[in-house]
Structure 1
Amino acid sequence: MKRYTFIIITLFSLTACSDSFLDVTPTDRFTQNTYWNTKEQGEAALNATYATLINSNSLFSARNAIYLDALTPNAYQYNADENIISRGLHNAATSTFNGAWNTCYTGIGRANNLLVNIDKVSMDESLKNRYKAEAKFLRALFYFPLWNLFGGAPLITEATNYETQANLPRNSAEELLAQILKDLDEAAANNALPASYSGADKGRVTRGAVQALKARVLLYAGKWEEAAAAAKQVIDTKTYTLFPDYRGLFYLENEGNSEVIFDIQYKFPEFAHSLDVMLDQQLGCAPLPGLVNDYYATDGRPIANSSLYNAAKPYENRDSRLQATVIIPGTTFKGASVTDIQYPSTGYGLKKYTIFKDNEKPTVVPTSGTSELNYILLRYADVLLMYAEAMNEAIGPDASVGGLSVSAAINQVRARAKMPNVPTGLSKEQMREEIRHERRIEFAGEGLYYFDIRRWKQAEKLLNTDVYNIKGNRIDSRSFNANRDYLWPVPSIAIQNNVALTQNLNYGK
């Protein structure tokens, strides 16, 4: 390293001797001025923007997205940043925050460069407009954590320029939200994006993905009527349906099924992850008893109020999503009976987002870096439940648009799991609790519950507690400071590099 550093310094010293050297355009590599010539180069730049999603520090990567559940009452992580954050021991130097911040700006920078330069390329105009729409969706997606988790960050929409952008102050959360919605509206305009793709283009941004992300952003912003309208627009396209088998929804052979609106693409060996190993060997987030106990009995009642619940056989007569999500001792998984000590972290394992099946012994034992199961960022069940929540909050439990009522949207999701309809005659507050329960159960192990308990302002009620395993033994504790932890800290290294950045409240300097 010292030798290479000396060579680089020497080269710079030599070129500094004459201004003429600085005027020479490099011929051994592309620059912004020489790159943008062909459709293939434009596509490569767009693909590089997508590739940021699977960066190991990206919050949208399979590992990091799913591990957000370990920051909630759903799951436990004993030896990574998630454990530090869940215990309230994090600070601005915690690596998760720096990785997320930097990766968001990597994606934003790549999207910006494409949007600023793509018009230089001579290519089919409809394809060029599609590339622009995809890039605007991706830019909105990368700004999402900076808005939702950090509460504001520098807003950059121009091509990368370190001289002018290195010392920008933070824009407000409201300004970031406005830009996110603007990008999504422009991405949806003029039918630049198709309703679906096939072949090599499958997995790219569609019209439905834009509207589904817009619905999520508006829901998280508490803009209920607008969120309901965006979700209903997705529903009315009739492009998506609930995949009939909840467990099968997450099988490798069913990737890109009728429920998937947008997923993060993986392919072995080029782009793979290690969730099969990490989840099965308890290196990842392990489900907690509180989550298991929250699955209703098959009569649609909480287990404390159901005559079907038998404490001696606690996993019988339960919502089918329980054993489709959680590995239970005494059941069959990977073609063998699950022992009491097989998942020692909490006593339970996470089945979702592994390729393993209940009655099939794996023919090949996965190793690190061999998993290629896509992470589903947006799916149709979420659209239905977002619609139900937004309509209930905006108007009430009897609200409907175009014949779709709040309860009908929820009941579609429940019916897939063979669960009864929500009770009739619920108040707005009662319906709110049913929706919140449904979201927890439907999306357990997918990372969404972390965003939910934050926007519902429930985190301080749910996360200041001890953590127990299946045997009732205390294994850890949780801490959430409501005066601080609803926002993540701006990374300390970002503030060191840019003195114009301000820190979030109660994180120090």
Structure 2
Amino acid sequence: MKRIYSIPVAIAVLVIGCTKSDFLDRDTKDSIDGKNFFNTATDLQVYTNGFYEMLPNYTLYTDEDSKSDNLIPLSVDARVKGTRLIPPTNANTKWQWEDLRSINFFLQNYQKCPDEAAKLKYGGVARFFRAYFYYEKVKTYGDVPWYGKVLVANDPDLYKGRDSRKLVMDSVLADINFAVANIPKEVKLNEITAYTALLLKARICLFEGTFRKYHELGDYEKFLTEAASAASELIKSPYKLFSTGGAATAYRELFARNDQDATETILARDYNTTYGRQSVGYLMTSPTAGVYGIPKDMIDSYLMKDGTRFTDQPNYQTKGFYEEMQNRDPRLTQTTPGPDFAVYKETTREPVNLSITTTGYRVIKGLPTRDQWGSLNSYNDIIIFRFAEALLVLAEAKAELGALDQADLDNSINKLRARAGMPNLSLAAANANPDPFLKSWYPNIEKAVVNKGVILEIRRERRIELFNEGLRWDDLMRWKEGLKLMKPMVGMYFPGLGAFDFNNDGKTDVFLRTDNTTAAPAGTTSIINVNQKKLTNNTSGNFNPMSGTPCTFSEDEDRDYYYPIPTEDLTLNPNLKQSLKW
């Protein structure tokens, strides 16, 4: 398997080695000499290889979702708590621009290469990454300065203010359209192709269209139409859903296997024992590192296997673990351990261990074989873009446009449900009976004139299918549903202290107590002191990892949809204005 390329060290130093204080006005003599480079297809390839470092690494599987309502880590992120502060400098923020200068330097020089095919391909790759770069900026800060050229000393644009969101996103759309049109339509697992560009376009346009719609910025239809068009084109591509192993195992297998293939995976970051390892296995199993927990509202959102709603059942909030795991969407126990959980590639039931999860519901999606659980010892590939997302984009974009029909659902959401062995979603039935449980999460759905019920179901499907792939925060932001973070984020329910049988075999798996001396039955694998792992009612109720950590997103909701610009950058450029209400 080929790796997502890393730029050679010498070139990396020349191209992206500049510091924050001088990156905008560095003279080209400090970079690759444009006169002596960019002369061959190999030059263009080598340079653009460096852009791949902009893409996510293994922390895509845990890091982003643990900064949303999908995963609760030991230390809750500031943006979830609503306690973000204006940073003094741009260190460890997204207000950094070195990558953009590198991209623009390439675009300023690559046309001198006489190889026309190479210019189209790698020019497209560069504009793919410029679109990606600015998409990340706009998601984070809203209006930002657009730089379509390399800035040099004394350029008046060095100290320009923010450009309008419209100008920036229209420029992003032009870039990604160029990439789609000029990068070859190839199936390559570790390289940007026209198919990768199509999926990025679908993602960008869905975000922008729904953000404009729900934040009432206007002119949203254009982006939603572009999103649906890109997703439709991708659905006609060679890609399809990975289904090896059937409904009971295919979803888990897709993420846990060591080596990706190009069935569903459009772009993956390659890890292996020779070139590099990562720490996904460690983060998902260490009692001192990640300790991620899935909140109960996520668990409750999985449908019953017959397609009915779990949350329509009486007393669903207080069902015990064994009972709540029965007859559910098979993706549930391929995402978190069920009563008969066995480690990937093993057959023996794994002992229950609640010390490695804040909520009682630990994560196994993307968890590799046991030998890979040490720090920096995992080598399963990380999926960055996959075909399933196109199916979700198509359904949501068309639903938001009021253009969705049953055939669209059958060509999108119902393919995902079929892979999971679940019944089809009916457009008429969903709209006739919107789920009150989901509606309580997303009150802003009232801005959708039509298709409210099916939009809620598409959001359910999206959260379940794309769980722990880094998109949940962006979804809440674009739907203007940040107040969802104010909903209780609790874990597993216990009616009281004592012994609990998690797999219905007559043996105690979990024992809750208020001290460290009360004896648990012999063979108990998980003994919990509830003075340390809090319950909502002290000695009963749900695990409460947010105890003492109230979320304050609503103190100024409009403000918290954006990040603040670092103080130092506002001082250096007085034409920049701080983000809304910061």
- In the superposition, the TM-score normalised over structure 2's length comes to 0.72
Distance 1:41 1:397, change over 3 A: closer
Confirm or deny that 1:354 pairs with 2:367. yes
Matches within 5 A, 1:31-110: 31-53=33-55, 60-64=56-60, 66-79=62-75, 83-93=77-87, 98-102=92-96, 105-110=97-102
- Which residue number in structure 2 is paired with residue 468 of structure 1? 490
- Which residue number in structure 2 is paired with residue 436 of structure 1? 459
CA distance in 1, matches of 2:409, 2:384: 23
Distance 1:204 1:329, change over 3 A: same
Distance 1:51 1:489, change over 3 A: same
CA distance in 2, matches of 1:210, 1:439: 21
CA distance in 1, matches of 2:108, 2:277: 31
CA distance in 1, matches of 2:383, 2:208: 22
Q: Which amino acid aligns with 1:353?
A: G
Deviation at residue 113 of structure 1 after TM alignment: 1.6
Distance 1:386 1:30, change over 3 A: closer
Deviation at residue 88 of structure 1 after TM alignment: 0.7
CA distance in 2, matches of 1:86, 1:184: 31
Q: Which amino acid aligns with 1:40?
A: T
Match of 2:268, SS state, is strand
Q: What do the CA deviations read for 1:257-280 (whole angstroms, capped 9, x no partner)?
A: 311123344455645432221222
Confirm or deny that 1:489 pairs with 2:564. yes
Confirm or deny that 1:478 pairs with 2:480. no
CA distance in 1, matches of 2:203, 2:455: 17
Does the CA contact (< 8 Å) of 2:89 and 2:569 recur in 1? no
Confirm or deny that 1:181 pairs with 2:186. no
Q: Which amino acid aligns with 1:243?
A: F
Which residue among 124, 128, 141 is the counterpart of 1:133? 124
Matches within 5 A, 1:107-122: 107-122=99-114
Does the CA contact (< 8 Å) of 2:300 and 2:311 recur in 1? no
- Which residue number in structure 2 is paired with residue 506 of structure 1? 581
Which residue among 417, 421, 428 is the counterpart of 2:420? 417
Deviation at residue 89 of structure 1 after TM alignment: 0.8
Deviation at residue 241 of structure 1 after TM alignment: 0.2
Match of 1:474, SS state, is coil
Does the CA contact (< 8 Å) of 1:86 and 1:480 recur in 2? yes
- Which residue number in structure 1 is paired with residue 302 of structure 2? 295
Q: Which amino acid aligns with 2:545?
A: I
Q: Which amino acid aligns with 1:488?
A: Y
CA distance in 2, matches of 1:269, 1:411: 40
Match of 2:454, SS state, is helix
- Which residue number in structure 2 is paired with residue 10 of structure 1? none
Match of 1:258, SS state, is coil
Q: Which amino acid aligns with 2:326?
A: E
CA distance in 1, matches of 2:396, 2:357: 37
Distance 1:501 1:264, change over 3 A: farther
CA distance in 2, matches of 1:136, 1:180: 9
Q: What do the CA deviations read for 1:390-443 (whole angstroms, capped 9, x no partner)?
A: 1122125426xxxx4234421111010111111352321111111111111111
CA distance in 2, matches of 1:96, 1:412: 43
Confirm or deny that 1:325 pairs with 2:319. no
CA distance in 2, matches of 1:418, 1:167: 56
Match of 2:102, SS state, is helix
Distance 1:424 1:160, change over 3 A: closer
CA distance in 2, matches of 1:96, 1:257: 38
Which residue among 155, 164, 174 is the counterpart of 1:172? 164
Q: Which has the higher mean CA deviation after the structures are superposed, 63-72 or 29-38?
A: 29-38
Distance 1:422 1:287, change over 3 A: same
CA distance in 2, matches of 1:380, 1:33: 41
Q: Which amino acid aligns with 2:423?
A: P
Distance 1:266 1:127, change over 3 A: farther
Distance 1:393 1:322, change over 3 A: same
Distance 1:262 1:497, change over 3 A: farther
Q: Which amino acid aligns with 1:47?
A: N
CA distance in 2, matches of 1:36, 1:225: 37
CA distance in 2, matches of 1:78, 1:330: 26
- Which residue number in structure 1 is paired with residue 325 of structure 2? 315
Match of 1:500, SS state, is coil
Does the CA contact (< 8 Å) of 2:331 and 2:420 recur in 1? yes
Does the CA contact (< 8 Å) of 2:252 and 2:366 recur in 1? no
- Which residue number in structure 1 is paired with residue 199 of structure 2? 212
- Which residue number in structure 2 is paired with residue 240 of structure 1? 239
Does the CA contact (< 8 Å) of 1:329 and 1:348 recur in 2? no
CA distance in 1, matches of 2:253, 2:204: 28
CA distance in 1, matches of 2:134, 2:158: 17
Q: Which amino acid aligns with 2:425?
A: V
CA distance in 1, matches of 2:255, 2:41: 34
Q: Which amino acid aligns with 2:85?
A: N
Distance 1:264 1:152, change over 3 A: farther
Does the CA contact (< 8 Å) of 1:126 and 1:192 recur in 2? no
Confirm or deny that 1:196 pairs with 2:206. no
Does the CA contact (< 8 Å) of 1:328 and 1:349 recur in 2? no
CA distance in 2, matches of 1:393, 1:302: 23
Match of 1:91, SS state, is coil
Q: Which amino acid aligns with 2:544?
A: R
Matches within 5 A, 1:395-406: 395-398=402-405, 404-406=407-409
Distance 1:497 1:63, change over 3 A: farther
Q: Which amino acid aligns with 1:304?
A: T
- Which residue number in structure 2 is paired with residue 18 of structure 1? none
Deviation at residue 448 of structure 1 after TM alignment: 1.3
CA distance in 2, matches of 1:267, 1:116: 36
Q: What do the CA deviations read for 1:51-80 (whole angstroms, capped 9, x no partner)?
A: 232xxxxxx33315742212332111233x
Aligned-pair Cα RMSD in Å: 2.8
Match of 2:242, SS state, is coil
- Which residue number in structure 1 is paired with residue 507 of structure 2? none
CA distance in 2, matches of 1:108, 1:67: 24
CA distance in 1, matches of 2:276, 2:132: 20
CA distance in 2, matches of 1:258, 1:141: 24
Distance 1:271 1:488, change over 3 A: farther
CA distance in 2, matches of 1:30, 1:125: 22
Q: What do the CA deviations read for 1:85-109 (whole angstroms, capped 9, x no partner)?
A: 211111121899843232xx23322
Does the CA contact (< 8 Å) of 1:70 and 1:86 recur in 2? no
Does the CA contact (< 8 Å) of 1:299 and 1:308 recur in 2? no
Distance 1:43 1:224, change over 3 A: closer
Confirm or deny that 1:221 pairs with 2:208. yes
CA distance in 2, matches of 1:505, 1:468: 31
Q: Which amino acid aligns with 1:470?
A: M
Q: Which has the higher mean CA deviation after the structures are superposed, 259-268 or 307-316?
A: 307-316
Does the CA contact (< 8 Å) of 1:48 and 1:110 recur in 2? no
Does the CA contact (< 8 Å) of 2:372 and 2:378 recur in 1? no
- Which residue number in structure 1 is paired with residue 400 of structure 2? 393
Match of 2:385, SS state, is strand
Confirm or deny that 1:457 pairs with 2:480. yes
Q: Which has the higher mean CA deviation after the structures are superposed, 144-153 or 167-176?
A: 167-176
Deviation at residue 137 of structure 1 after TM alignment: 0.7
Q: What do the CA deviations read for 1:245-267 (whole angstroms, capped 9, x no partner)?
A: 11111134441331112334445
Deviation at residue 483 of structure 1 after TM alignment: 2.1
